[in-house]
């Protein structure tokens, strides 16, 4: 038997887990592509058949109580009609192939709670006016493999309200780190561009670029700067001062892509390109 649970928000109290219903059939379909997991990287774009994963998830600070004990449906009270409007997220406990167990998680936001008139497609349709419905997505936002202690997910932003603190994986340079990076000797700022003008996307790239630069020797840094000059003609370079002139977010983005060696030239056609995401082979 499969069970759908709900975590509800309680004003002034801790969230509470309640049972919604049980079902012989799968509540969420089991994906066939969990065998190609990727370590989380905020700048990596997943292919359709890929998932990010976190192994040994119970040992992390993001784990939640229900994962740290054996599941028993009798521990949870049934949800009331009034409580269904306070659902924060859904959890489905499901068996797969009779020998493995999983939790499927779905964030519930306002767009998935429909307060509209509707009718069910049937031989005897009737209009429902005071029966709001909650949409169960075709696919879960996260899947937890109970047997192997692995969490799989597609988008980190979809699970930050489920697993508290997991947003720290979405690494972003702080204001101080951003200011320090823009103060590097190889960067010259113009047109009043400063740290306050740097958005979230480039702050993530700065966090990665700092780690990358710290791993380079002085010779490797010189090589990288020559590489950037070869691909980023849109970023002025002062040969005397050895500085790249950054005056807006776009130029900063291309500079950061260069530090991560995102640019390449095709073997056939000699076409210059930039990789949307990268993965080490």
16 with 85, same domain? yes
198 with 107, same domain? no
115 with 179, same domain? no
pLDDT at 281: 57
Interatomic CA distance for residues 240 and 231, integer angstroms: 19
128 with 180, same domain? no
Lowest average pLDDT, out of 21-30, 135-144, 270-279, goes to 270-279
Domain termination residue (choose one: 169, 192, 210): 169
More confident residue, 15 or 67: 67
What mean pLDDT value characterizes the chain?
90
pLDDT at 98: 67
Lowest average pLDDT, out of 142-146, 198-202, 255-259, goes to 198-202
35 with 68, same domain? yes
107 with 162, same domain? yes
Find the helix or strand (DSSP H, E) in which 259 lies. Answer: helix 249-259
83 with 29, same domain? yes
More confident residue, 97 or 250: 250
pLDDT at 36: 82
Residue 22 domain flag? yes
With 80 as the cut, is the pLDDT of residue 277 above it? no
Helix (H, G, I), strand (E, B) or coil at 182: helix
Domain tally, the chain = 2
Percent above pLDDT 90 for the chain: 63
pLDDT tens per residue, range 223-241? 999 999 999 999 999 999 9
41 with 129, same domain? yes
129 with 242, same domain? no
Domain termination residue (choose one: 107, 142, 169): 169
Average pLDDT over residues 243-256: 96
Q: What is the pTM of this model?
A: 0.71
125 with 216, same domain? no
With 90 as the cut, is the pLDDT of residue 56 above it? yes
Residue 135 domain flag? yes
Tokens of 212: 């990358």
pLDDT at 157: 84
pLDDT tens per residue, range 12-47? 677 799 999 999 999 999 998 888 899 888 778 888
Interatomic CA distance for residues 123 and 242, integer angstroms: 76
Residue 280 domain flag? no
Residue 281 domain flag? no
104 with 229, same domain? no
121 with 217, same domain? no
- Whole domain around residue 48: which residue ranges? 2-169
Domain termination residue (choose one: 127, 146, 169): 169
Q: How many CA atoms lie within 13 A of 274 on its CB side?
A: 14
pLDDT at 99: 77
| 169: confidence class by pLDDT, cuts 50, 70, 90 | confident
User: Which of 4-18, 38-52, 145-159 is most confident?
Assistant: 145-159
Residue 264 domain flag? yes
Residue 44 domain flag? yes
Percent above pLDDT 70 for the chain: 98
Residue 128 domain flag? yes
Question: 177: which residues sit within 8 A by CB, 6+ positions away?
Answer: 206, 207, 210
To the nearest 10 degrees (0 to 180), the angle between helices 218-231 and 249-259 is 130
pLDDT at 10: 81
With 90 as the cut, is the pLDDT of residue 78 above it? yes
Among the residues of 26-107, which ranges form H helices?
A: none
Q: How many CA atoms lie within 13 A of 280 on its CB side?
A: 4
């Amino acid at each position: 038997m499969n069970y759908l649970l709900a975590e509800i928000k309680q004003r002034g109290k801790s969230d509470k887990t309640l049972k919604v219903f049980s079902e012989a059939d799968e509540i969420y379909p089991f994906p066939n592509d969990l065998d190609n997991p990727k370590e989380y990287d905020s700048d990596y774009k997943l292919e359709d058949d890929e998932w990010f994963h976190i192994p040994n998830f119970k040992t992390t600070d993001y784990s939640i109580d229900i994962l740290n004990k054996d599941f028993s449906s009798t521990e949870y009270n049934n949800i009331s009609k009034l409580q269904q409007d306070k659902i924060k997220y859904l959890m489905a406990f499901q068996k797969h192939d009779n020998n493995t167990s999983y939790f499927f998680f779905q964030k519930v936001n306002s767009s998935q709670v429909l307060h509209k008139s509707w009718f069910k497609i049937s031989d005897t349709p009737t209009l429902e006016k005071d029966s709001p419905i909650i949409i169960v997505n075709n696919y879960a936002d996260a899947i937890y493999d109970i047997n192997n202690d692995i969490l799989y997910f597609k988008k980190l932003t979809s699970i930050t309200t489920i697993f508290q603190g997991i947003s720290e994986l979405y690494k972003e340079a702080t204001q101080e780190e951003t200011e320090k990076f823009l103060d590097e000797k190889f960067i010259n700022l113009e047109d009043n561009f400063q740290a306050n003008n740097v958005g979230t996307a480039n702050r993530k790239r700065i966090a990665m670029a700092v780690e990358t630069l710290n791993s380079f020797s002085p010779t490797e840094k010189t090589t990288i700067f020559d590489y950037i000059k070869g691909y980023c003609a849109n970023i002025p370079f002062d040969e005397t001062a050895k500085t790249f002139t950054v005056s807006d977010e776009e130029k900063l983005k291309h500079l950061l892509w260069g530090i991560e060696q995102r640019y390449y030239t095709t073997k056939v056609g000699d076409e210059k390109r930039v990789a949307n995401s990268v993965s080490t082979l």
